[in-house]
A and B are shown apart, each in its own frame.
Chain A
Amino acid sequence: MTSPLEQKKIKITGPSVVTANRTWDGAVVYRTAKQGWSTELADSAVVSTSDDARALLAEATADDVGAVGPYIAPVELKDGGKVKPGNLREHIRAKGVTIDLQVPA
């Protein structure tokens, strides 16, 4: 997955959200339509045009205290409007690591 750290030009081709990490603990958060942050992808504001994405990102970036490193991430809209991560990287951020964390004790 190309790192969003390399995200320079904003041009989206499908439904997208703005995501970041919460400042105090680093948790994955999503920008909501109410100009806040949520740890639930389901709460995120989904945009579908580049202009809307730019506006959402600008608003999120302005909240430098709440969250760090906001960027636009792709999502998929499933039946009934359910929001799913749009690529593996975002799947891992949303659902956690893909490996068994059990370290032999």
Chain B
Amino acid sequence: MYAYDELDRTLINERVSEFRDQVKRRLSGELTEDEFKILRLQNGVYLQLHAYMFRVAIPYGTLSSKQLRRFAHVARRYDRGYGHFTTRQNIQFNWIKLAELPDALADLAEVGIHAMQTSGNNMRNVTSDQWAGVAPGEIEDPRIWSELIRQHTTLHPEFSFLPRKFKIAITAAEHDRAAIKIHDIGLRLHKNADGETGFEVLVGGGLGRTPFIAKTIKPFVPGRDILSYIEAILRVYNQYGRRDNIYKARIKILVHELGIEKFAKEVDEEWKAMGDVGLTLDHTAIEEVRSRFSYPAYEKLPHMPDELKQAAHDPLFERWRKNSVSAHKVQGYSIVTLSLKPVGGPPGDASAEQMDAVADLADKYSFGEIRVGHEQNLALPHVAKRDLPALFKALDRLGLATPNVNLVTDIIACPGLDYCSLANARSIPIAQELTRRFANHDTADLIGRLHINISGCINACGHHHVGHIGILGVEKNGEEFYQITIGGRADENAQLGTLIGPAVPYAEVADVIEDIVEAYLALRDRPEELFVDTVKRLGVEPIRERVYATR
């Protein structure tokens, strides 16, 4: 966990006071909506179909039990008893009243939570691997760097009015769980030949109506220089970014139009011209931030405790353990993913009761710490293996032990037309129907790793372009239709999916997805060949033929 210092606390509290005054002036009519809109967006407040939506940042996906309990409190007191975890390590509350927002913000500020960087054309919440600090083989904890970037960019005047929103993600593990290649800047922490820690810097990734996979702009930037290098990128973007056209304003368009070589040259020239602007991170500065992260006092525990051996006779426990429990860097401990994708449930939603209960379980079994992943699930990052059987029972009672992590029903979905003012079609009911179709865990296990991503419009909040199966809601003559892509992926081998055929109406989506999965099962080389690898080997055509032959 990261402990905020006095400066952080003052900044957050001042922000609450400022927003309280802005809301008061808006409600009195002193501020028009045009004047107020940019202010509310800077505090994570959108206006959606039914109400205001309040998006709160969970920097690098790390939460304390106290903070999660406070989310439960906000859900209960100011909303309708639940919250929605997003694909960018935020939580959204869907039914907040503007008049009560300052109070909600004040309650969150008491536990070091805020809504800065969650909307507007600025630097958004810096995200990271939800297993940061506990993943085996990790170079080092990427959250140290996430926090350094967060501190530097928060309310930075040069980054507060960018041409468009700007997102950074960081990973330090071989397997990319942070989807860095679909971010404006993706940072991969690694060591160079001399053993020095630094970053491969990727730029220009993003989804939306013009999707691009990020390209490497520099294979190695030493850690001490990362702030100045990011600043150079942002200066080039600020100078050349298309402020005249919202659809062309993201950095991905600039990188695409200039070409990565020219863009890299511009950044290098800017970087050199900047000279020493006081952004070099010396050892003391890095260690100061590192020292504010606290790590558990792990016990020396056996690799295979008796409790685990005994529980292995319970098939339900074993299924869950194999699916949702992952290796930890410390012997005797595990990382446990809590599926927020129950059969028939809205993906990523958690009730206030669940949040409170998870906070209690985190205190009991995970040193009071919870993580939030971009896949819209939670994780307990430090669970002793001896505690796994007891934890499973508790999670099962809460509906949080669905053994479907990374399987076909672990669906990423945006709120869609049920909530969102930008959406063209619904996402959640499609996800719910698919979870019912594939509810049988044996079938899901047989299918293996398969990511379905659903977006209700081209803005792609559900990351449909990079789903193994991507579903995009569109409108045709006032009806909901869905375009389906296959072969996308969001990991270290990220790529965009390919359209498989004509859009299908709402009522046929689940049938088509079932047919795609059946085609894959028939075409895969061996049971271990993942869906996405079968598509890569064979291309789209053989699956298209089977799925659309009778349509």
Do chains A and B interact in one complex? Answer: yes
Do B50 and A101 touch across chains, with their CB atoms under 8 A apart? no
Complex: chain A residue closest to B51, CB-CB: A26
A96 adjacent to chain B (CB < 8 Å): yes
Specify which of A65, A93, A101, A104 is in contact with B399 (CB 8 Å cutoff). Answer: A104
Q: Nearest B residue to A66 by beta-carbon distance? A: B29
B28 surroundings in chain A (CB, below 8 A)? 65
Given A26-B98, A99-B428, A103-B82, A92–B418 Cβ distance below 8 Å? yes
Residue of A nearest to B94 (CB): A97
With A5-B422, A97-B419 as known contacts, state yes or no: A28 contacts B29, CB within 8 Å: no
Chain A nearest CB from B476 CB (Å) reads 11
Main secondary structure of the interface of A (DSSP, over half): loop
A67's closest neighbor in chain B, by CB? B33
Interface residues of B in 306-344 (CB under 8 A from A): 342, 344
- Which listed residue (B27, B80, B354) contacts A101, Cβ 8 A? B80
Q: Beyond A26-B52, A64-B33, A99-B428, is A5–B421 a contact (Cβ under 8 Å)?
A: yes
Query: A68-105 CB contact bits vs B (8 Å, 1 = yes)?
Result: 11000000000000000001110011001111110111
B429 adjacent to A26 (CB under 8 Å): no
Shortest Cβ distance from B514 into chain A, in angstroms? 21
From B97, B349, B418, B478, contact of A25 by CB (8 A): B97
- The answer to whether B96 and A26 have CB atoms under 8 Å apart is yes
Q: How many positions in chain B have a CB within 8 Å of any CB in the partner chain?
A: 46
Q: How far is the CA of A21 from the CA of B51 in the complex (A)?
A: 7
Distance in angstroms from B338 CB to nearest chain A CB is 12
- Name the A residues within 8 Å of B398 (CB-CB): 104-105
Task: State the CA gap A68–B46 with chains docked (Å).
Answer: 12
* Chain B residues with CB below 8 A from A89, complex form: 49, 417
A65–B497 Cα distance when bound, in Å, is 45
> Is the beta-carbon distance between B33 and A96 smaller than 8 angstroms?
no
Q: A105 near B353 (CB under 8 angstroms)?
A: yes
Establish whether residues A3 and B422, one from each chain, have CB atoms under 8 Å apart when the complex forms.
yes
A28 near B50 with CB under 8 A, answer yes
A75 to chain B minimum Cβ distance, whole angstroms, is 14
A23 at the interface (CB under 8 A from B): yes
CA separation between A103 and B432, bound complex, in Å? 12
As a 0/1 sequence over residues 207 to 223 of chain B, the CB contacts with chain A under 8 angstroms (1 = contact) are: 00000000000000000
A58 interfacial contact with B, CB 8 Å: no
Judge if B351 is at the interface, Cβ distance under 8 Å.
yes
A residues near B82, Cβ cutoff 8 Å: 101, 103
B17 located at the interface, meaning its Cβ lies under 8 Å from any Cβ of chain A in the complex = no
**Hey, what's the 0/1 contact readout for A19-58 against B, CB within 8 Å counting as 1?**
0010111111000000000000000000000000000000
The reply to whether the CB of B346 lies closer than 8 angstroms to some CB of chain A is yes
Question: Which one of B26, B52, B346, B421 lies within 8 Å of A103 (CB-CB)?
Answer: B346
Asked if A1 contacts B475 (CB within 8 A), the reply is yes
Contact B424 A26 (CB under 8 A): no
Q: Which residues of A contact B81 (CB under 8 A)?
A: 103
B345 within 8 A of A: yes
* B429 CB contacts on chain A under 8 angstroms: 98-99
Indicate with 1 or 0, residue by residue over B408-430, a CB within 8 angstroms of chain A CB atoms: 00000000011101111110110
Given that A25-B51, A65-B29 are contacting pairs, would A99 and B346 also be in contact in the complex, using a CB cutoff of 8 Å? yes
Query: CA–CA, A101 to B351, complex, Å?
Result: 10
Cβ–Cβ contact B418 & A97, under 8 A: yes
Asked whether, in the complex, the Cβ of B345 is within 8 Å of the Cβ of A103, the reply is: yes
Q: Which residues of B contact A92 (CB under 8 A)?
A: 49, 417-418
Also in contact, A26 and B32, with CB within 8 A (given A103-B349, A104-B351): no
Mask: chain B, 29-47; 1 = CB below 8 Å from A; 0 = not: 1001100000000000001
In angstroms, Cα B95 to Cα A101, docked, is 12
Q: In the docked arrangement, what's the CA distance between A24 and B52, Å?
A: 9
Partner of B47, one of A21, A103, A105: A21
Using Cβ atoms and an 8 Å threshold, which residues of chain A touch B138? none
Does A1 lie within 8 Å of B98, measured CB to CB? no
Contacting pair B50 A26 (CB below 8 A) = yes
Report the bound CA distance from A5 to B457 in whole Å: 14
**Shortest CB–CB separation between residue A86 and chain B, in angstroms?**
9
**Chain B residues whose CB sits within 8 angstroms of the CB of A24 once the complex forms:** 27, 97-99
| B483 shortest CB reach to chain A, Å | 16
Asked if B270 CB lies within 8 Å of chain A CBs, one says no
Q: For the complex, what is the distance from the CA of A5 to the CA of B424, rounded to whole Å?
A: 12
Q: Is B417 in contact with A1, judged by CB distance below 8 angstroms? A: yes
Measured between beta carbons, the chain A residues less than 8 angstroms from B27 are 23-24, 65
Alpha-carbon separation in the docked complex, A41 to B233 (Å): 50
A15 to chain B, nearest CB (A): 15
A98 with B99, Cβ < 8 A, contacts A23-B26, A69-B47, A104-B345 known: no
Q: Does B350 contact A (CB under 8 A)?
A: yes
Q: Are B98 and A87 in contact (CB under 8 A)?
A: no
A residues in contact with B351, CB < 8 Å: 103-105
Which 4 interchain pairs have the tightest Cβ spacing? A104-B399, A26-B51, A25-B97, A103-B351
B: which residues have CB within 8 A of A? 26-29, 32-33, 47-52, 80-82, 96-99, 342, 344-346, 349-351, 353-354, 398-399, 417-419, 421-426, 428-429, 432, 457, 475, 478, 480
A binding-site residues for B, Cβ under 8 Å: 1-3, 5, 21, 23-28, 64-65, 68-69, 87-89, 92-93, 96-101, 103-105
Given contacts A2-B424, A93-B50, 11 further A-B contacts (CB under 8 A): A1-B424, A2-B475, A21-B47, A23-B27, A65-B27, A87-B478, A88-B417, A89-B49, A96-B50, A103-B349, A104-B351
Of the A-B pairs whose beta carbons lie under 8 Å apart in the complex, a sample of 7, sorted by A's number, is A1-B417, A21-B51, A64-B29, A65-B28, A88-B478, A97-B50, A103-B350
